[in-house]
Amino acid sequence: MIYTDIALASVLAAVLFDLFGIRTSLLTKSVFWTSYAIILPFQLITNWWLTSRNIVMYNPDAIIGRRLAGAPIEDLLFGFSLILAIQGMWVYWGRIGIQRKK
Amino acid sequence: MLKFSYLAMLIFTVFGSFWLELVLKTRVMKRAKRAALSILPIAPLYLIWDAYAISQGHWHFDPAQILGIFGPFKIPLEEFLFFLVVPLAAILTLEGVRSVKKHWPVGDEE
């Protein structure tokens, strides 16, 4: 498996986790998409930093080769699944009453 | 200074997100238990992925631009910090949006 395969699998896993696993259904909520829209430009900036300076380097055989702001397109899939899974867990614990209130 | 290149990105992320805690009173840090419970089951999955990708050569790090401190499976310290700092930023952003859009459902309301 290359980066592309694992990144796609991580998105599929996070989506299934959100909708059918912990049933947080963040994918149907404005609060999720708004926060993602805020995070995305920052991901592009930090990805650009890491890749354009060659702090992180990718094996051309492990990616499909399309890039955005210097970083492999796969990074967007990785970021999306990470954010969805983490925010889902946060909402899940709040829902069952763990430190729900501020 | 070069060896702080990756660390600089993490510090940028911290400064870019943690002000929400003060300005929008997201109180995520005050709910450390909930944050830890959210990050601990997920971050290791990504670190396993990281370890696999490093072992397979999917990606590698410029030795001159990282601190040079490594955890298990040759994972640089910065990567461990990444999977702490970035999830916290994601939670802070979610709570930040909620602070502004109080009527938007999140799913953890009573």
Task: Examine residue A102 and state whether it is found in any structural domain, yes or no.
Answer: no
Q: Show the tokens assigned to B80.
A: 């461990």
Please write the tens of the pLDDT for every residue from A38-82: 999 999 999 999 999 999 999 999 999 899 988 999 999 999 999
Task: Examine residue A100 and state whether it is found in any structural domain, yes or no.
Answer: no
Find the largest Cα–Cα distance for chain B: 50
Q: Which residue has the tokens 């592009």?
A: A44
Q: Would an 8 Å CB–CB cutoff place B98 in contact with chain A? A: yes
What are the sequence ranges of the domains in chain B? 2-100
Interchain CB distance below 8 Å, B87 and A86: yes
What is the extent of the structural domain holding A13?
A: 3-95
Task: Examine residue A49 and state whether it is found in any structural domain, yes or no.
Answer: yes
Nearest CA in chain B to A55: B62
pLDDT above 90: percentage of residues in chain A: 89
CB B110 within 8 A of CB A102: no
Task: Examine residue A72 and state whether it is found in any structural domain, yes or no.
Answer: yes
pLDDT at position B67: 98
Specify the number of domains making up chain A.
Answer: 1
How far from B40 is each of A44, A93, B91, CA to CA, in Å?
25, 12, 14
The residues with which B60 forms a beta bridge, in sequence order, are A57
Examine the predicted complex and report whether its ipTM is higher than 0.85. Answer: yes
Buried b (16+ CB within 10 A) or exposed e, B10-35: beebbebbbebbeeeebebeebeebb
Phi, psi of B107 (to 5 degrees): 120, -5
Q: Residue A1: is its pLDDT beyond 80? A: no
Give the sign of the dihedral formed by CA A22, CA A18, CA A87, CA B83: positive
Task: Examine residue A51 and state whether it is found in any structural domain, yes or no.
Answer: yes
Nearest CA in chain B to A38: B93
Whether pTM > 0.90 for this model: the answer is: yes
CA–CA dist A85, B110 (Å, integer): 22
